[in-house]
A = this chain, B = another copy of it.
């Protein structure tokens, strides 16, 4: 059904308040969730239904474990991943503003970070190049193995242009874990070749995949990139040497680079815009109507939602959200 955007935000804020978050955290989480929801990304309000994202009653203020002019390692104090990574993002942007580069890692968060493209997008809108890496539990296997060790290990980048930034957000896994959970709930099978069962056989059964391991995207190259994300989100930022049994061991890393370190910032934005235009004007494959650069599909979706002032939401999902609000 069509839901007014204002109404959607109001109900979402109610759910967050009922989940135990104080007003400032409600606003922060709303921003992350709306970024996804209003761009047609599947990391939106669905995160708030079912088990949802209750605030950890034992959470403590975010503390700084290590701090330099360029960097910080933050103990998230079991606060929401969205709250902690938003804080980390602002800190990294501030450091980059003062010194050209900011690198901030987080550990000990409770619940996920949401769509990490959000943070990359905010960094790019501030005029910086943003790289965001996010760790999670043991879901994905190394190339040659079927034992889950890596998280689905997404990475995102944001690049300023003269217009809207280039923003890309991808799992290094060939399918998001959430996609498998969704398939299981819906009684659907998963695509061929994306996951192993617990004996190392390729499976299309989501239940078997959840007991097995997800494969990396793009073969051995994707697995190597997953390893890079793993190193940046666990050995580099964690507090625990091995294993990721608890969500508190899931780390994140944000790297913010001021392009002015190497080139005039306006020139950089003009050049990236010019590159985007070249890509869009390039010869298209048969059946391709338009070449979309990363971020463009979501931008279009959001523009149309904002113009209409309303968004299409599945009846069941909207009902569940309203229920969670009361």
Contact = CB atoms under 8 A, between A and B. Distances in A.
A141 interface: yes
A293 B66 contact: no
Majority secondary structure of chain A interface residues (helix, strand, loop or mixed): mixed
Interface string A100-144: 110101000000000000000000000001000000000001111
A282 B70 contact: no
A324 B253 CA distance: 49
A15 to B, nearest CB: 32
A291 interface: yes
A236 B294 contact: no
Interface in A246-293: 257, 259, 261-263, 267-268, 270-272, 274-275, 278-279, 282-286, 288, 290-293
A163 interface: no
Interface string A67-84: 011110100000000000
B227 A222 contact: no
Contact of A292 (B68, B100, B144): B144
A95 to B, nearest CB: 11
A230 interface: yes
Interface stretch (A6-14, A36-44, A48-56, A145-153): A145-153
Given A271-B241, A294-B224, A294-B227, A283 B147 contact: yes
Contact of A145 (B66, B272, B279): B279
Nearest to A66: B262
A179 interface: no
Interface in A277-320: 278-279, 282-286, 288, 290-294
Contacts of A282: 141-142, 145, 147, 149
- The complex is assembled from copies of this chain, and their number is 2
A283 B145 contact: yes
A267 B217 CA distance: 30
Contacts of A292: 144
Of A68, A103, A236, A267, chain B has the most CB atoms within 10 Å of the CB of A236
Given A73-B263, A241-B274, A170 B99 contact: no
Nearest to A253: B262
A137 to B, nearest CB: 14
B142 A105 contact: no
Interface string A143-186: 11111010000000101000000101010000000000000000
A157 B68 contact: no
Nearest to A131: B228
Contacts of A100: 68-71
B235 A278 contact: no
Name the 9 nearest CB pairs between A and B, nearest first.
A218-B218, A235-B271, A71-B261, A147-B282, A145-B282, A147-B283, A168-B224, A144-B288, A144-B291
25 contacts: A66-B262, A68-B261, A69-B100, A70-B100, A70-B261, A71-B100, A71-B261, A73-B263, A101-B103, A105-B262, A129-B236, A145-B285, A146-B284, A157-B228, A170-B221, A217-B221, A218-B219, A227-B293, A227-B294, A235-B263, A235-B275, A236-B262, A237-B263, A241-B267, A242-B274
